[in-house]
Chains A and B, each alone.
Chain A
Amino acid sequence: MQLIKQIRQYGIFIAFIIICLLLSFLSSQFLSLSNWTIIITQVSINSLLAFGVTFVIITGGIDLSLGSLVALTGVMAALSAHPDDYPVIVPILIGLTAGLTLGAFNGFLITKSKIAPFIVTLGTMTIARGLALIISKGRPISNLSDSFNFIGGGEIFGIPLPIIILVVVFIICSILLKKTILGRYIYAVGGNEQAARASGININKVKIAAYTICGFLAGLAGLLLTSRVTTGQPNAGAGFELDAIAAAVIGGTSTNGGIGTISGTLIGALLIGVINNGLDLLNVSSYYQQVVMGTIIIGAVVLDSWNQRNNS
C-alpha cells in the first residue's frame, strides 16, 4: 500500500521531470532562472487554491465556489485598498476574513443540510459571483495603493512575494495535513466516514475545518490576484476551481477521499504551469493546450483508479 502510494507520487514526479526535459530541448529559454521565476509566480495562485481544495477533496468533498470566492474576496479587499484609504493591513484582513467566513459557511451548509458538497458549493459559487458584481456594481475597482499592489507584484531580496507566500503556505499546509491531529482526522473522515465516526471523531467539525481552510486560501489567492493585476475584478477567477481541482487530482489526490498530499498537489499545479508556459514559449495554439491539459487530467485519474483497483 505504502509502496504503491509512493510509486504513484513518484509517477507524477517522473512525468513532471520528463515534460521539463522535453521542453528544455524544444525551447532554449525554458530552463532559465528568469523563466522559472515566472512559472512559479504564475502557478502561485492556482497552487494556493489547489492546496485548499486538497483538504476538501481528502474529506471526500469538493468546492466549486473557489473561483467566485477569489473574485468576491478580491473585490472586497480592493474596495478598501485605495491610496490613503486605510493601512494596507485592512484590505488584507478583509480579504482573508471574507474568505475564511465564506469557507466556513460552505462547510456549515454542507454538514448541516446533508446536501452534496457539489450542489452546495455550486450554489455558493453563484451567490459569491453575484455578490462580487453587486459590491463592485459590475465594474473593476482600480486605483489601488502601491503597498497593496506590492503583495502580488513586489520582491523581497529579488524573490517575487507570491513565491515567498507560496513557499510559506506550502510548508504550513504540509505540516497541518501530515503532522497534526486535524490532518489525521481529515484523512480518517475521507477514508472511511463510518469508521471515523465510530472512533469518536466529530465529522462535522473536521469537514467545516477543511472548507474553512479552503476558503481562507481562496481569500489569500483573491488578494494575490487583485494586487497582481492591480484591480479588483468581479468577473475574475472564472474556472479557477477547475484548475485547482485538476492540480489536486493530477497530484494524486483521490476524488473518493482519504488520499492526497500537499506536495503532490504542488507538483500537479507546477505541471499545469509548466505546460502552459512551455506551450506559450513554443507558440502552440491554446486550442492544443486545452487538449493536452485534458489528456493529462484523464491520465492522472486513470492512474488513480488503476492504483485503487490494485489496492483492493
Chain B
Amino acid sequence: MKLKLFTVFLIITFLTNCQNSKKAENSEGKIVIGVSMLGMQSEYIVNLADEMQKKADELGVELIIVDAEKSSLKQIEQIESFIAQKVDAIIMNPCEVEASSPAVKKALAAQIPIINVNSETTVMPTAFVGSNDVESARIAMQFIAEKLGGKGNIVMVNGLMGQAAQLQREQGANDILKEYPNLKIIATQTAEWDRAKSMDLVQNWIQTYGTKINAVFAQNDEMAMGATKALQEAGLKDKVIVIGIDAIADALQAVKKGELDATVFQDSKKQGAGAIETAIKIVKKQPFEKNLLVPFQLVTQKNINDFIK
C-alpha cells in the first residue's frame, strides 16, 4: 500500500514537473498567460476555456489553464503560483465576487496584469471582459412580458442562491417586472442550476397552480429544460412560455424543435477571444478596453439558425 502511494506521489511529481519545464522552455520568447477557471464542470465554462485556447493557438500565445473547482481559496492559490511562475499576464474567471478579490490584489501587487473574464470581483482588475448578467434576465423577462401582453402569472426557477449570476438574474427579472404591474411572480424557488431538480420543482408547482401558470423563467437553460420536460409530461407545454439563459447546445436544439420558447445567448467565443486579446494588448503595452462588455442576444425560433453550428 505504501509502495502504491509512493508510486502515485512519483507520478504526480513527474507530471507537475513536466508542466513546469514546459513552461520554462516557452518563457524565452512566447507570451505566457495563466488562466484560472471557475469550474470545468459546467458546460459554459468549458466552452469559454476552449475559446480562449483557440484564440491563444491562433495568436501563438502559451496558456496554462487550471481549474479552481468552484473554490475561491483554490483560485487564490493558483494565482499565487502563477505569480511565482512569473507569467506575463493572468486571466481569472472569478469563483466569487468577494472571496476571489484577494487574488486580484496579489497579482496587481506583483505587477502582473490580471483580467477578469465572465464575472466580477469587488477589487478592480487591470481589465474586465464579460457580460452583464442583469441584462440577460432583462432580455428574458422582456420576452415573457411581450409574449403575455404584459399580463399573467410567472413562476421563477432560481439558480444557486447567493451566487453572483443568481442575484443579478433575479435583479434583472425584477427590473422588468416593475414596468409591468399586471405580470406577477406567483412562486419562486431554487433548483440549484440543476435539470432534475427543476423538473421536480415544476411538477410540484403544476400540482398547486395547474393552468394558472402562464410562463416559466428559469435562470439557466438546464433548469429551463427540466421545466419544459415537466410541462410536456403534464400536457401543458403549449399553454406555458418557457425561457432560459446561456444558450447551451441542448437548449438550442429545443428552441429549434419548438419545445423551448427562447433562450438568451451568452457569447463564450467573444468573451474568450476578448480576454486573450486584451491580455496580449496589455503585455505589449498597447491601448486596451478596460471594460469590454459582450452583449447578450435573444434566441428564438426566428433566429435559431444563426446559433446552431
Contact = CB atoms under 8 A, between A and B. Distances in A.
Interface string A267-283: 00000000011001101
Contacts of A42: 200, 203
A213 B185 CA distance: 45
- The main secondary structure of chain B at its interface with chain A is helix
B189 interface: yes
Given A133-B40, A138-B40, A138-B43, A228 B204 contact: no
Contact of A281 (B200, B207, B248, B253): B207
Contact of A140 (B43, B208, B229): B43
A230 B253 CA distance: 13
A24 interface: no
A191 interface: no
11 contacts: A138-B43, A138-B46, A139-B249, A140-B43, A228-B196, A230-B229, A233-B195, A276-B200, A280-B200, A280-B201, A287-B161
Interface residues of B, number: 30
B227 to A, nearest CB: 11
Contacts of B194: 236
A87 B159 CA distance: 36
Most buried by A among B46, B187, B207, B225: B207
Contacts of A312: none
Given A42-B203, A228-B199, 11 more contacts: A27-B208, A32-B207, A38-B203, A38-B207, A138-B41, A140-B222, A229-B199, A230-B229, A236-B196, A283-B187, A286-B190
B250 A231 contact: yes
A142 interface: yes
B272 interface: no
Contacts of A32: 207
Contacts of B199: 228-229
Most buried by B among A42, A153, A225, A285: A42
Contact of B204 (A38, A233, A287): A38
A34 B207 contact: yes
B201 to A, nearest CB: 6
